[in-house]
A and B are shown apart, each in its own frame.
Chain A
Amino acid sequence: MKLIEKKEEHQQVLRPPRTALVIFGATGDLTTRKLIPALCNLAQDGYLPQDFIVIGASRQKLSDQEFRDRVFKGVKEFSRRPITDQVWERFSKNVYYQAVGFSALEDFINLRTRLEELGQQCAESLNYLYYLATSPEFFSAIATHLKQAGLVEPVQSTKRTTSIVIEKPFGRDLESARALNHDLTQSFDERQIFRIDHYLGKETVQNILVFRFANGIFEPLWNHKYIDHIQISVAETVGVGSRAGYFDQTGILRDIVQNHVLQVLSLLCIEPPISLDADSIRDEKTKVLKCIRRYTREEARANSVRAQYSAGHIDAKAVPAYKDEKGVAKGSSADTFVALKLAIDNWRWSGVPIYVRAGKRLPKRISEITVFFKQVPDTLFRGLEGCELEQNVLAIQIQPEEGISLKVSSKPPGPRMRVSPVVMEFNYGNSYGVPSPEAYERLLLDAMKGDATLFTRNDEIEEAWDLLAPIFDLWENFSKDSESAIVHDYQAGSWGPKAAADLLRVQGHRWRRL
């Protein structure tokens, strides 16, 4: 078979069925920066379905061409690689716009008419995929109106598949997450709901499963007997920017830890699933989340640190304190930095501290999972100068570069016995001839195919809210307890408050330098 035929066959296997993608909130940042560029890259690689249309839906009144022009700017600026004119021309012909008021049923009925008209141009009926790139307050209304307008088929329908993709945040706490899910499941079956966490679309995160279960050398060590502790760090250099209004009500524990961090943690710590299908993996992830210790108030106090950045410098640029950013309420106690110590109470992980830190206005943008292995018995090298042993450390870097490194000890060349750490590295960019796709490319493709493996299930979301509830309660209900109101300070451009370092020092640990 010729190479070109092989490629076409390969694309055929990966290509989803015919789909109409309706993006609610299409005039927002997410569509311009992520969704349309991702779709264009899929188009360029030949992975979009044979018949594929995009309808941007938002309250604004725009023509189809105005919408195309708007998103084209985003493609030029934010696509991970240049999109050829040919690809854009072919793709943009199937990009449309429909003004939809999210609380107006009539607009949804008009949307249905539009979809049916556009569908007539296709050989077979299109599946409908609804992407909610809106503020969360509109999720319930949109889902309800889709149902009322006849735009939701039952899950067993043979006519077409209808699904809905929703972006985080999934609620604000356990109660609101349950309420949201209740509203969604009034209109959609759980199997039709795709809750997106874009971290799960990153290659390195997907690689965790392969790394753990396709290599014989790591799984025997992946437990409390050999692992000393785990650190997960999500660092951003940016401040709140234009999201101050949203962020001030949310904080970073909700914005990053509840979803991205806990998703990554659960993948890192799961038992081997019985298969690679979506529910088998998600079952195991949920079990990990269930096993994470629910803290008492005192434990929450001892194992959590929240902080807010003060004025400082990010790479020589002076930046203001959080409280001085535009849109931040006076006296705000929103956390721009959080550090936690978690514990997983099961046989595999008992006694292994899991340290998490996430923060804005940190010195560099980097997200990393680091596994610290236990120190060997220091009998052979004890007392020999230049032979101070360091732990083996496995680092899985999620962004900006994607890769894995392993720190081991070795002897430097020379006449004396000395021990020095060296790092063995695997970097996606250097190892494979193809660049990694953007997370949204993989996730959109999977949503169109109906593969929910990389999407979160409702019970995972509820467990994540449940385990963090004591910390939210401590931080937000402090009227009786002034100690819990402590919001530490850290200078923008530093790695966080001293209290975060103290959290680890209790067990003789320290944060890895990033």
Chain B
Amino acid sequence: MLPSTLPGFTRTTLENLDSTLASFFNDFENSDRTVKKSFGANFIMLLPTRADIKAQSSLIETLTRLHPGRFFVLYRDDDLSDFEVNVRASCNLVGPKEALCSELIALGFAREQIGALASVLRARFTPAVKTELYIHRLEDTNFDVIRVLTGLSERAYVDSRLSGLEKVKRLLPFVEQVVDIEWMRLAIWRNEIKRGLERRSFMNLFAGLSEIEVMLEVDTKGHFPGAAALMAGWILNQFQLEISSLSGGAFECIAPDGRIVRLILSISSHSQESTLVGILLRFRHVQGQSKIVPFLKATRSNQLETTVHLDSGDARSTRELDDESIEGVFTRYFSIGESVKSYDLALHSALELENLRRGYTR
């Protein structure tokens, strides 16, 4: 029995794929709109199953709108005997009578087709543009496919909230750049901490730092949540501290000038989500002084409140939280541009902290 056509798509074969896509644009010739095909990017989306195409339709629409190009939406189905090909055009108005369209190629494959998958994609990539890869969930069972796809891509988007930091780290050697959606969700926290700490009154404190206490409040299942780990790793990197060992419940870190700085890391947890809801940073100077600095938490009204305790009094600020959905993160990434600098380093530090907590020695 032939597989059914994906809703909204046109069933075709590999041989007829290009002509089927071309026919969509030929049909537009009779309309009163100017329709252009985008050649901006090659974008591969690896989804777990066929059903996820519908489930992720909002994400697909968001990406085709923000980052138009040629999209390859891949899913594995080991019951298939050959590639299953469905295509459609996704068009968005960019002017009163002008539409810009992405081409969507949905490609189902079984284990037996993994060896041929790269050849199918290479034959259809738009030349001379970057190829990007979105991996919905990193699993041990799909790393064989991921290895093939990362070999074709310059950048991979993952969500460590879904996939876990360890699996993201496994990806790093195989692709030029990894963009973690969770990392972009945390941009607002990083920006608030930086804003809070970039004050003259803290400079002397940081010069002689002996201890940093980082309390992270997360909604978590109890294991070391990715968001908290990444923030802890990033904070360490900001102070240029290198983790040395775990001793007496605190991490011992070495500062560039050789000072030992203790990192006390505690995580309090509430419910089922792995969402960061609060950070408390406390610093202790070698002379024993301490200051409590940015205590950040998400309030019930979905705002981010920052309080910085200064000698002269508390400085408070409030800002709206960003949309934390994957669509929301991609919208900010492609419209405004989010920082992905220092991610790799933060990831390494985060995993080191976790390994030490679990009892693995360096």
Which residues on A are within 8 Å of B, measured CB to CB?
Answer: 237, 312-318, 363-364, 366, 368, 385-386, 393, 395, 405, 407, 413-416, 418, 423, 425, 493-495, 512-514
Contact = CB atoms under 8 A, between A and B. Distances in A.
B128 A513 contact: yes
A421 to B, nearest CB: 8
Contacts of B122: 363-364, 493-495
Contacts of A386: 337
Contacts, number: 66
Contacts of A494: 118, 122
B116 A316 contact: yes
Given A425-B39, A512-B128, 19 more contacts: A313-B118, A313-B120, A314-B119, A315-B119, A316-B116, A363-B123, A385-B339, A393-B128, A414-B337, A415-B336, A423-B39, A423-B128, A493-B116, A494-B122, A495-B122, A513-B128, A513-B131, A514-B127, A514-B128
Interface string B324-362: 000000000001110111000000000000000000000
B75 interface: no
Of B39, B119, B128, B131, chain A has the most CB atoms within 10 Å of the CB of: B119
Interface string B98-137: 0000000000000001011011101101011101000000
Nearest to B120: A316
A314 B119 CA distance: 6
27 contacts: A313-B119, A314-B119, A315-B14, A315-B119, A315-B120, A317-B116, A363-B123, A364-B122, A364-B123, A366-B127, A368-B127, A385-B340, A395-B128, A407-B128, A413-B335, A414-B335, A414-B336, A416-B336, A416-B337, A423-B39, A425-B39, A493-B122, A494-B122, A513-B125, A513-B127, A513-B128, A514-B128
Of A315, A416, A512, chain B has the most CB atoms within 10 Å of the CB of: A315
A413 B341 CA distance: 21
Contact of A312 (B39, B119, B128): B119
A125 B339 CA distance: 78
Contacts of B123: 237, 314-315, 363-364
B295 interface: no
B337 A493 contact: no
B83 interface: yes
B128 A313 contact: no
A494 B127 CA distance: 15
A496 B119 CA distance: 13
A237 to B, nearest CB: 8
Question: Which 6 A-B pairs rank lowest in CB-CB distance, beginning with the nearest?
Answer: A363-B122, A493-B119, A313-B119, A313-B116, A386-B337, A315-B123
Contact of A318 (B116, B120, B131, B341): B116
Nearest to A363: B122
Contacts of A385: 337, 339-341
Nearest to B340: A385
A363 B341 CA distance: 34
Contacts of A366: 127
B148 to A, nearest CB: 11
Of B14, B113, B123, B125, chain A has the most CB atoms within 10 Å of the CB of: B123
Nearest to B131: A513
Contacts of B39: 423, 425
Contacts of A512: 127-128
Contacts of A418: 337
Contacts of A413: 335
A413 B125 CA distance: 25
A316 B128 contact: no
A318 B118 CA distance: 12
B337 A363 contact: no
Contacts of A364: 122-123
Contacts of A368: 127
A416 B338 CA distance: 10
B218 to A, nearest CB: 27
Nearest to B42: A513
A425 B83 CA distance: 33
